[in-house]
Amino acid sequence: MRRLIPFRCAGETLVGSLDEAAGRTGLLIVSGGNEIRCGAHRGMALLAAELAAAGYPVFRFDRRGIGDSSGENGGFASSGRDIMAAVSAFRTAAPQVDRLVGFGNCDAATALLLYSGEAFDRLILANPWVSDDDDDLPPAAAIRSRYAQRLRDPASWVRLMTGRVNFGKLVSGLSKVSQNQSKELSAMERSVFGALADRPDVSIILASGDATAIAFADASARAGYHGPTVTIDTASHSFARASDKTALREAIIAALA
């Protein structure tokens, strides 16, 4: 059974959804970007229903300024209070839960890691965001990976020779790659991997062809991070395909268990 639960955060009213189950391990899902709590293509709503059917109560919510929640949207960096308010609301609505796990994708994963303190017994982080960039280009590691693939593809050379390549994007991408050759960690990368060093209870899930995941994997190598990681063979950032959803659910259930 799914029910709506309004709760307070910093003078605003947030709205959450609880998929009820009798289990004592609960999952709190934090939405990434500006997504509402159902997730891209209703992916998080479907995941919550499936996990509840497996015995795990699941709580999702809209942070301030998103979806059904009031207030101003301050982005993932200001979502710590929202997450903690959701933790409290979840525990009140499902008092049998004595083990709490947090799950988020992209910047929601980073928010859980950096801003939730000791509220969770375990974290499951999908495609964690580690970029400091504020441009519209993919991370430099993802650009390098994409160009390497295209250089091995004869069709890409045909497109280049026949003028069917956006040279503006090509020049911008090459410029970004050339400016990001340092092996030093950025400020965001230092924050993320510093926090991961203190959290042996974290499980990482990566979409193999996703730009954000490629950037995280590149930073992991430079940071010397070797935490438990599950890689799903997809380029979908939101695990949109049916096979992606199945693999994601199985990885989450394994971490919950």
CATH number of the CATH domain containing 40: 3.40.50.1820
Domain end: 154, 179, 204, which one? 179
- Range name among 23-32, 138-147, 217-226, 232-241 with the lowest pLDDT average: 138-147
Residues 6+ apart with CB under 8 A from 137: 143, 172, 173, 176
In terms of domains, do 126 and 226 share one? Answer: yes
For the chain, how many structural domains are there in total? 2
What separation in angstroms does the CA of 53 have from each of 44, 50, 88, 130?
A: 14, 5, 23, 33
Between 26-35, 82-91, 98-107, 179-188, the lowest mean confidence (pLDDT) is in 179-188
Which pLDDT score, from 0 to 100, does residue 155 have?
A: 61
- What is residue 56's predicted lDDT score, i.e. its pLDDT? 98
Q: What would the mean pLDDT of 149-154 be, rounded to a whole number?
A: 56
105 and 174 together in one domain: no
Convert the pLDDT of each residue in 104-126 to its tens digit. 999 999 999 999 999 999 999 99
Same domain, 207 and 233: yes
66 and 18 together in one domain: yes
* pLDDT tier, 167 (very low <50, low <70, confident <90, very high otherwise): very low
Mean pLDDT of the chain: 89
Q: What is the pLDDT of residue 176?
A: 42
Per-residue confidence (pLDDT) for residue 171, from 0 to 100 = 46
Q: Do 39 and 117 fall within a single domain?
A: yes
**Domain shared by 17 and 84, yes or no:** yes
Question: Among the listed ranges 156-170, 199-213, 227-241, which one has the minimum average pLDDT value?
Answer: 156-170
Range of the domain at 167: 140-179
Do both 32 and 149 map to the same domain? no
Residue with the bigger pLDDT between 228 and 161: it is 228
% of the chain with per-residue pLDDT over 70? 81
Please indicate, yes or no, whether residues 105 and 215 belong to a single structural domain of this protein: yes
Residues 53 and 121 in one domain: yes
- Report pLDDT digits (tens) over 85-101: 999 999 999 999 999 99
Tell me: do 107 and 205 sit in the same domain.
yes
Q: Are residues 49 and 30 in the same domain?
A: yes
pLDDT: which is higher, 134 or 116: 116
Alpha carbons 256 and 25: distance in angstroms, whole number: 7
